[in-house]
Amino acid sequence: MAEAILEVFRGDRESGGAKQYSVPIAPGMVVLDALHYVQGHLEPDLAVRWNCKAGKCGSCSAEVNGRPRLTCKTRMDSLPQDKPITVYPMKSFPVIKDLVTDVSWNYRVNKKIPAFAPKPDAKWKMYQEDVERGQEFRKCIECFLCQNVCHVLRDHNKKEEFGGPRFFVRTAALEMHPLDSRNRARLLKDELGIGYCNITKCCTEVCPEEIHITDNAIIPLKERVVDEFYDPILKLVRKIRGAPKPD
């Protein structure tokens, strides 16, 4: 039976390094299968998060051959077999152990976003064409690969000032909900620091759900922020008409 060499990060916050394992290859095998093989036969304490194993829960994110991926959707036969396949934890989050990282920061950011608040006179009639954009964003499985790859977080570690692509997607879903009544422009500008994003589209590239994060979520939100805070004409119109200010 053919074998592959898997090079996996083993260690914790303090120390660690790469360790190689020889894994038998079966047809259609994915990287997560290989990790399970290591766990089940070689090292039972190898720490790896996973749940659905079908690309629907977003638990098994890691960096395979340097690329952020869901290990359950990364086929071994899509990777070169003549050298070790490297599997490392997501770089933008602190390592807990092996491939498991501390992603709790994401849950803290999420709490800052005001939830859906329906218009008081909502009739609950919505048409497919009106919900489609929101549905695109709600496909997000919270794998945090977009957060991991975003240079504002990965290279500059702006976790205090910047929310990251995942939470622009969530905010966009709320803002573009046909019946939502809130305005989250100030949140986007001040709390989530959307201005830091310089639309390099790395997030869009790694999204396993193929959400057009930059084009459909971030850019329209940036436009909203500009309209709200930086457009002198609109500002004047608003002053005269007394239109509501963002929350």
Partner 1 sequence: MTDISKYETHEYDVLIIGAGGAGLRAAIEALAQGARVAVVSKSLLGKAHTVMAEGGIAAAMANVDKADNWKTHFRDTMNGGKRLNNWRMAQLHAQEAPDRVRELEQWGALFDRTSDGEILQRAFGGHSFKRLCHVGDRTGLEMIRTLQDRGVQQGFDVFMECTIIRLLTSDGRISGAFGYWREQGRFVVFRAKAIVIATGGIGKAYRVTSNSWEYTGDGMALAYEAGADLQDMEFVQFHPTGMVWPPGVQGILVTEAVRGEGGILRNKNGERFMEKYDPKRMELSTRDVVARSIYTEVKEGRGSEHGGAFLDISHKPAEYVKKKLPSMYHQFKELADVDITKGPMEVGPTCHYMMGGIRVEAETAQASVPGLFAAGEAAAGLHGANRLGGNSLSDLLVFGRRAGLSATQHAKSTAHGVIDQQQIAEAEREMLAPFDRSPGENPYSVHRDLQEVMQNLVGIFRTEEDMTKALNELEKLKARAAHVRVEGSRMFNPGWHLARDLKSMLTVSEAVTRSALARKESRGAHSRIDFPGYDEQWGRQNNVTSREAGVMKLRQVPVKELPDDLKQLLAEEATLGAAK
Applying CB under 8 A, the residues found at the interface with partner 1 are 12, 26-30, 33, 39-41, 43-59, 73, 75, 96-98, 100, 103-104, 107, 110-111, 115-116, 118, 124-128, 131, 134-135, 138-139, 141-142, 174, 177, 180
Nearer residue to partner 1 within complex by CB, 58 or 163: 58
CB of 11 to partner 1, least distance (A): 11
* Closer residue to partner 1, CB minimum distance, 127 or 232: 127
Distance in angstroms (rounded) separating the CA atoms of residues 5 and 134: 42
Question: Least distance to partner 1 from the beta carbon of 129, Å?
Answer: 9
How many whole angstroms separate alpha carbon 187 and alpha carbon 176? 15
Half-sphere exposure of 67 (CA within 13 A, CB side): 15
Output 28 or 80, the one with its CB closest to partner 1: 28
Q: Which of 82, 65, 86 is nearest to 2 (CA)?
A: 82
Q: What is the DSSP letter of 220?
A: H
Is residue 66 within 8 A of residue 86, CB to CB? The reply is yes
Residue (127 or 240) nearer to partner 1, CB: 127
Tokens of residue 18, six digits: 């790469």
The letter for the amino acid at 232 is P
Quote the least distance from Cβ 182 to partner 1, whole Å. 11
**Residue 76 near residue 1, CB atoms below 8 Å:** no
What is the smallest separation between the CB atom of 28 and partner 1, expressed in angstroms? 2
